[in-house]
Structure 1
């Protein structure tokens, strides 16, 4: 795991950007604390920060050049099947100078060109410069586990692993209001947009090829999904195949020359990963976060049961709400593009504590999106299958609207869920998905933004962007359609972004076995009935590993990586909200948000019926902190 950045200059004006490569590389210091270096010529400048994982010696340093001196690579990620690929290359007469997967990737590209991507099992964002051809080839992994930002104009192409590195080049910082409009609904910004008009994210499974002043974008991977063509395996055979694929995936992801541990929340997904990992790594170290003040969300009892069963060296980081709160400023300060998934706070602390023991950690991320693990998936199933209960909930929507709604206790949270469900019943399939993916409706955002901000919003651009995100959802959806949308939207732009940023903030590499592309493709060959029914979510995951997990993990509510935002906002962060970031005169001077609407949100926050307002407030806090740091 590393950080990369670079410039391809089309002319003399573009070459001026090369003077910023050292600073852009330094901005990625947390992604790679072990080594940094740069490369320059008259056309290209490349920078690399290294977190040493495989072949930690100097022979693995980057930028790395092949023996001929023609090709230079900078690489962020890991290629888990690099040993097999190396054997193939050795048989072709290739000689290696290191034991790194970077060198294998470099020579694989030299021998096979861009088709090498089809052979890679891993996660990556890399750039390879061909000095003779004067071209640069850039690629991002299939699932979007590793990030890649870029700027393209008539003078140059800039690229980097993080926005803060892009900003080191002195780019124009005009806000993209259609991205802001989306952020205020979803609490994150989907690719290819970013908060800045001129900066884009390279989509998962895509490449850039730069040569002769032209930039070609191509898609090299799209998840195969045909709901009219599911596997012919029966359910028992499906379980056996999933077990086989997952064991292979976990085993591949244990390859490292540094300590490897595993997150263990106590939920099914991380428990599966840790259990499979321990089979191949008897000295496995597992890590959990416990919440002293939030017993409802504390799963450490279950994590300990799993750790005891598999015999792992288990560490629990038991935290108070104050411990969590103490990290808020550090997290806000690291965020270089508005991103308001509040569970990032817990991931940040888990990563920070885990890094004291391991350099690599396995995670259960991705299973919910692939196999139907969220509450919203149960809601979609009820919506799709209909029935008297669903019709009754829909008929009572006006009542749910009147009742108090809050996540702070089970009853008011149920009223909140019923109200969302009832409103969703009245929408088209695409609009229902969009509403249930977010925290605020378009009408609410229209009120929140000032008239001047709305004038800056290209509404057609926003609608095209939104419609493209929702293009795969048919008029009559099924659960696999919803999961496919989740894997292309929520997974890369929310869940994987969260894990990448918060782990890299602590120089920890996190590997995600559920997102091996073979597992993903198998998941989308399964019928809905293998994943969810009226009684169980993630059915095949639960059933496939039932015999190797503690019985106590089953038949209990799913817990999220929740943090007590509502409590903080009403106590510890009250002054930050009222006297700083959402202060009325500051909002007025800033000119982005409507003061009367931010006042309403604050009043709702401190009322007995807060609903989901804490999520909207958090989105504003994150944006305001970011805006003060990068735009004032």
Structure 2
């Protein structure tokens, strides 16, 4: 993902290493490099796609780089009042000794770097929820950091070892956990964290500036909770959407993207918007999204179709773009982003989990995260998670999943897209998340709160339009928030296809040939990390015994493509 990169070395001129990093951060011709500060002591810059570049503060004794979006702070001014650039706001907070309190109230998806020349200190900063990746490597040489792991590898400041745990975890779960990457000595900066590096002593420390446990519980009636959640979502969309800019909505057949579109329409009824849907011609997503767009004729609808010829090859480069941490099975839709007429996407990221309570069941409501709950999602890899961290001391277990499953899986889908678009995530606003985890979990159980909210406040888009998950419209009258609690879809809905059928696509001759060349090689690099013969145990049965093993096959392909590129 484009973003900040740089290094601060101990008694070593870092400029040649920085040049190598810069070359890697220019992965695509559409990437620009700006705000370059380069000296023997410290080097830093930002890579970005066209049109998206904040003004960094680099001509000062205290320099600051900012990447991402900042929507609200404790010092936010009234609407239409001039607001300093985010980098300037962060620098001012640091100089005033108020950086932690500033960040605690900051609403947005961002990371930042501050370099204090007089103190010989470097600060790496992550937003509350870690929605903008920043990796780092601390070694005897100093500190190296980048939005892309490939840039840290290019600096060659320390010997890197592949992490066996990461391979096992990725093959089982399809994503990595906590701060792990493919390499033992390269880490992902944790959420709500400031890493402070003292160059003189070549030491670093991590400081957390916010915890989920700070959220106060409240008593609120179900009906009031429904109405307040609707207001908070409208507020979040209003902050993140500008009708005068090039923005659109990635629209599926689900509830979340439709909710964002409905909010935009409510706030700006005459806005001539744009929506984008991908899939196969007869899939539920395209069928339902067409019904949604018919409710607002002034919106344009871009539809992109998968074929057997256009799904595999484009994803090879995307494995490199995501540093091998996104299963290529979850890259769907990014093949078509360059064809869109807008450059900012309002995304339904995590909406089903936040308002829909998709991780909840009756037994898990109103509980802190426990090993038993964690094992349901992480299996044998639960022991590698820090479940005892005080950050999770609240009567809700989902925040741990947000910081792992969502941050390490769903977030990598955003990383994949951000080489073409800027992604905004209204469901991840501070006010909405703090509200959701201040009320009882059972309000959200089985989509109850969400379904009631949508049918009560946005009936035009929900009462008579189906939900791709069930085939039925949501219903406020149904206690569980959906008319398809039984899981029985309408007869006609069963004829609709999924947006893409990987099981069959893998069996197409071209895909079989490509995957065989990649995986069935005695010198394949994945074989160095396991004694399991994934090719014989998963690929052969999938192709010749008509068994569905596409999860393991495409994860293995992701690993092999990435390892080959890293070796080269």
Partner of 1:359: 343
Closer/same/farther in 2, CA of residues 350 and 230 from structure 1, 3 Å limit? farther
CA drift of 1:129 comes to: 0.9
Q: Distance in 2 between matches of 1:490 and 1:167?
A: 25
- Shift in Å at residue 384 of structure 1? 6.1
- Distance in structure 2 (CA, Å) of the matches to 1:589 and 1:72: 42
**CA displacement at 1:80 relative to structure 2:** 1.4
Matches within 5 A, 1:122-271: 122-170=108-156, 171-211=158-198, 212=200, 213-224=202-213, 230-255=217-242, 258-271=245-258
Which of residues 8, 17, 23 is equivalent to 2:20?
Answer: 23
* Larger deviation, residues 24-33 vs 154-163: 24-33
Contact 1:351/1:502 (8 A) holds in 2: no
Describe the shift of the 1:610–1:219 C-alpha distance in structure 2 as closer, same or farther (beyond 3 A).
Answer: farther
Matching of residue 80 in structure 1 with residue 84 in structure 2: no
Find out whether 1:512 has 2:425 as its counterpart.
yes
**Deviation at 1:82?**
6.9
Deviations 1:455-496 (A, max 9, x none): xxxxxxx77524x2587999xx99x42x23321211111101
Q: 1:359-438, aligned counterparts within 5 Å? A: 359-372=343-356, 374=358, 377=360, 380-381=361-362, 430=371, 433-437=374-378
| Alpha carbons of structure 1 residues 473 and 156: separation in structure 2 relative to 1, 3 Å | closer
Residues matched between the structures, number: 530
The yes-or-no answer on 1:531 pairing with 2:448 is no
Q: Which has the higher contact order (CA 8 A, sep 6+)?
A: 1
Match of 1:564 among 476, 493, 501: 501
2 CA distance for matches of 1:178 and 1:470? 21
Which residue of 2 is the match for residue 465 of structure 1? 384
For 2:520, the equivalent position in structure 1 comes to 583
Distance 1:331 1:631, change over 3 A: same
Q: How far has the Cα of 1:531 moved from its partner?
A: 0.8
Contact kept in structure 1, 2:241 and 2:247, CA below 8 Å: yes
How far has the Cα of 1:618 moved from its partner? Answer: 0.9
Question: Does residue 292 in structure 1 map to residue 283 in structure 2?
Answer: no
Q: Structure 1 unaligned runs (5+)?
A: 91-95, 386-427, 443-461
TM-score where L is the length of structure 1? 0.75
- Secondary structure of the 2:556 match is helix
> Quick check: which one's helix share is greater?
1
Equivalent of residue 625 in structure 1, options 540, 561, 566: 561
> Separation in 2 of the partners of 1:194 and 1:585?
25
For 2:434 and 2:213, locate their aligned partners in 1 and report how far apart those are by CA, in whole Å.
Answer: 6
Q: Say whether the 8 Å CA contact 2:218–2:438 is kept in structure 1.
A: yes
| CA–CA separation in structure 2 for the residues paired with 1:432 and 1:609 | 34
Say which is worse superposed, 108-117 or 141-150, in terms of deviation.
Answer: 108-117
Distance in 2 (alpha carbons) for counterparts of 1:561 and 1:147: 30
1:600 Cα deviation after fit? 1.7
Q: TM-score, normalised by structure 2?
A: 0.83
8 Å contact kept, 2:247–2:344: yes
* Cα 1:3/1:115, change in 2 over 3 Å: same
Unaligned runs of 5+ in 2: 472-496
Change (3 A) 1:61 1:469: same
Counterpart check, 1:503 vs 2:417: yes
Cα RMSD after superposing both structures: 3.5
2:461 aligns to what? 549
Deviation of 1:307 (Å):
2.6
Distance 2:10 2:244 in 1: 40
Aligned in 2, Cα 1:333/1:46: closer, same or farther, shift over 3 Å? closer
Aligned counterparts of 1:114 and 1:429: Cα–Cα separation in 2: 29
Q: For residues 442 and 135 of structure 2, what CA distance do their matches in structure 1 show? A: 38
C-alpha separation in 2, matches of 1:589 and 1:180: 9
1:207 deviation in Å?
1.1
Superposed displacement of residue 566, structure 1 = 1.3
- 1:296-318 CA distance string (max 9 Å, x none): x4322322333332445222223
